[in-house]
Amino acid sequence: MAIILGIESSCDDTSASICIDGKICSNIIANQAIHQKYGGVIPELASRVHQQNIIPAVHQAIADAKIHKNDIDAVAFTRGPGLLGSLIVGTSFAKAFALANNLPLIEVNHMQAHILAHFIDNMPSFPFICLTVSGGHTQIVLVRDYFDMEVVGQTTDDAAGEAFDKTAKLLGLPYPGGPLIDKYAKEGNKFAFQFPEPQIPGLDFSFSGLKTSIMYFVRDRVKDDPDFLQNNLADVCASVQERIISILLNKLKKAATQFDINNIAIAGGVSANSGLRAALNQVAVELNWNVFIPKFEYCTDNAAMIAIAGYYKFLNKDFVGQDVAPMARMKF
Ligand code: KG4
Ligand code: ZN
């Protein structure tokens, strides 16, 4: 039997999870509401709140899994990528817990963990292509095995989640704006306004031009009609969301053709978007894809994905020493 404690603290969610033999038995997430009033994550505040939340989150994860602290066999933690001050809290906690309890330590790459979240309730067959879309990253990843992953396309500027969040800010919505755009888009007409699709070669992405065009669009419309946003919020949200989805899916189709793979997954915070999930299911029918869409709770940041990644590393005895340090930028 293998019991893994997973710790996630890369951005603004403090999370702890217990995985027993590949099954997630608890997944506690403490969100940080403090950032809402600033319109984005303030790194210094995030690390302080992680300090407050981490021990209660771990206690709760252990209690919910109905185990005892001494039953744990290994500690897996997010080493990176992420905010350094946030990562230091989770890494230091994991190291201290492992040292005090004489347990092996397992480092986990946050972006790989988003992909491995698919193995919590499902077993996608290798190879598959995963579109990983979060607040900091947008990647097309060729997944050959659990830890044999290659980034074959990525954003050259903003991430897809950033495109959602920055658009929301322009529309006067609070942080994080992605879920709110999703909500308003459901009531809007996605063909009401046209936003440009960037022409980026290969499998790479760009979202900064879209952000600029939305900024000018809002400025011009509000100049003509000060109530424009109030009266057209749902249509603007639906139209922007439609464009972001088409950018993502067009590249995904290109990747599927290029690698001749029809096992397709999505992961990361933006994979919670209901429009993207519906559009992907539709493309799956048209192109005969097997699609893998994570449960909502495993899309945005969580420690269950760290614990499951840790479980697969535990089986390989892939451990790190006490000299491990977090990495704000971390490649696969
Ligand atoms: O994976 P994640 O929780 O954190 C990072 O690793 O960055 O992703 C957070 C991002 C934010 O940009 C948030 O606005 C976006 O995911 N997001 C969404 C939705 N839920 C979260 N974007 C669009 N629609 C959603 N429903
Ligand atoms: Zn993430």
CA-CA distance, 283 to 252, in Å (whole number)?
Answer: 10
Residue 182 lies in a domain: yes
Closest-CA residue, ligand 1 atom 16, reads 269
The residue whose CB lies within 8 Å of the most ligand 1 atoms, and thus the one to mutate among 87, 134, 274, is 134
Cα 273 to ligand 2 centroid, rounded to whole Å: 14
User: Same structural domain for residues 30 and 62?
Assistant: yes
User: Same structural domain for residues 193 and 232?
Assistant: yes
pLDDT in tens, 160-198: 999 999 999 999 999 889 999 999 999 999 999 999 999
Q: CATH no. for residue 305? A: 3.30.420.40
User: Same structural domain for residues 224 and 275?
Assistant: yes
What is the token pair recorded at 9? 């603290």
User: Same structural domain for residues 107 and 191?
Assistant: no
The residue whose CB lies within 8 Å of the most ligand 1 atoms, and thus the one to mutate among 86, 114, 164, 240, is 164
Residue 328 lies in a domain: no
User: Same structural domain for residues 137 and 249?
Assistant: yes
Q: Which residue has the tokens 């993207």?
A: 276
Residue 191, pLDDT score: 98
Q: Is the pTM of this model over 0.85?
A: yes
What is the token pair recorded at 140? 């097309």
User: Same structural domain for residues 8 and 68?
Assistant: yes
pLDDT in tens, 284-308: 999 999 999 999 999 999 999 999 9
pLDDT in tens, 49-66: 999 999 999 999 999 999
User: Same structural domain for residues 148 and 288?
Assistant: yes
Residue 320 lies in a domain: no
User: Same structural domain for residues 219 and 277?
Assistant: yes
CA-based end-to-end distance of the chain: 28
CA-CA distance, 194 to 180, in Å (whole number)?
Answer: 20
Domains held by the chain: number:
2
CA-CA distance, 269 to 186, in Å (whole number)?
Answer: 18
Q: In sequence order, what are the beta bridge partners of 195?
A: none
Residue 133, pLDDT score: 98
Give the neighbor-by-neighbor strand order of the sheet with 263-267: 148-154, 138-145, 128-133, 263-267, 290-292
What is the token pair recorded at 6? 């997973």
pLDDT in tens, 73-128: 999 999 999 999 999 999 999 999 999 999 999 999 999 999 999 999 988 999 99
What is the token pair recorded at 99? 């040292």
Which atom belonging to ligand 1 lies closest to the Cα atom of 177? Answer: 14
Residue 283 structural domain? 125-293
